[in-house]
Amino acid sequence: MIDFLKTFWQYLVPKHFLSTLMHWLMNRETPWFSQFIIKQFVAFYGVNLAEAERTAIEDYRSVNDFFTRSLAADARPIDTNLNSIVSPADGKISQSGSLKHNQIIQAKGYDYSVEALLGGDISLAKSFYDGDFAVVYLSPKDYHRIHMPMDGQLLSMTYVPGDLFAVNPATVRMVPDLFARNERLVLSFETAIGPMVLVMVGAIFVGSMETVWQGKITPDYGTSLKYWDYTDQSLHFAKGEEIGRFNMGSTVVMLLPAGKTYGLNLHDDNPVLMGQAIASIVNKDKQDNAPAKDVNDSNDDAIDYASA
């Protein structure tokens, strides 16, 4: 019943209009307003500004400037093991593991297809049949920039129009096919293990998604697919390098091909930090299936695990 009460109203409100309004409001550069909102937010959520590049509330021009804040250079060390795959964002692993052919687990009783998530791109979807996936939920208090889980070259980006339901745990449990029905950006990369996809999933009040190579994608909100081909531009990104950002919080879905990784079977609701090892690339000379290690362990342990 609690999940229902947190969710049903979303079917009734104009989510795109409210998100556009929120985006406008959060970008107002009015010091008294933005500083008041930021102070309340920091106090309510316990945001640690000491790890940010700018530690004073007065240093932020707007609320969105605060939400998309950069961190100090040493705040998120990137796992240096060559075989490690790191979390693309701060947040919680809400689901992870292996796909059942083309089906991804959303929540108990709810699955959705890779084809639906990728906006109907059947050829790309087939690259991940029986592969691995991880879903990272970013709450409003989290660091909102998205980074590369491993080295890769950008191949394409697809904007998939859709709804803007919230992506909090209650809504995930109540709305079927949530990540495949919300607006999203599908980012396709080529890596040392083959294709990798990161899907940035929009949500209500997440008034803007942007990438470092294309700038702001939303708003405005579209009604048809948009596709960008980057195969001729040699856009390479190193593990841990920033590739995009959200306003407020949302979700990132990572897809990896079958048989190339191990360890990506984490406990639900595991907190993770960007740059923390969450899986490893299978060593061709050592095809062992190491058990997953709890990502709540220390960063040093994660490095040891990644090199197992």
Position 5, amino acid: L
In this structure, the chain runs to a length of 308
Active site residue 65: no
Which residue from 166, 181, 169 is spatially nearest to 107, judged by alpha carbons? 169
Q: Pick the catalytic residue: 127, 132, 147, 280?
A: 147
Quote the CA–CA distance of 13 and 164 in Å, as a whole number: 10
Beta-carbon neighbour count of residue 58 at 10 Å? 10
Distances 128 to 35, 99, 197, 216, 262 between C-alpha atoms, Å: 45, 8, 9, 28, 15
Phi-psi region of 125 (alpha: psi -120 to 50; beta: other; left: phi over 0): alpha
Q: Pick the catalytic residue: 79, 90, 121, 142?
A: 90
Task: Count CA within 13 A, CB hemisphere, residue 203.
Answer: 24
Active site residue 62: no
Q: Pick the catalytic residue: 62, 96, 250, 280?
A: 250
- DSSP state letters, 102-142: TEEEEETTEEEEHHHHTTT-HHHHHTTTT-EEEEEEPPTTS
Beta-carbon neighbour count of residue 70 at 10 Å? 13
Active site residue 3: no
Report, as residue numbers or ranges, the catalytic residues.
Answer: 90, 147, 250
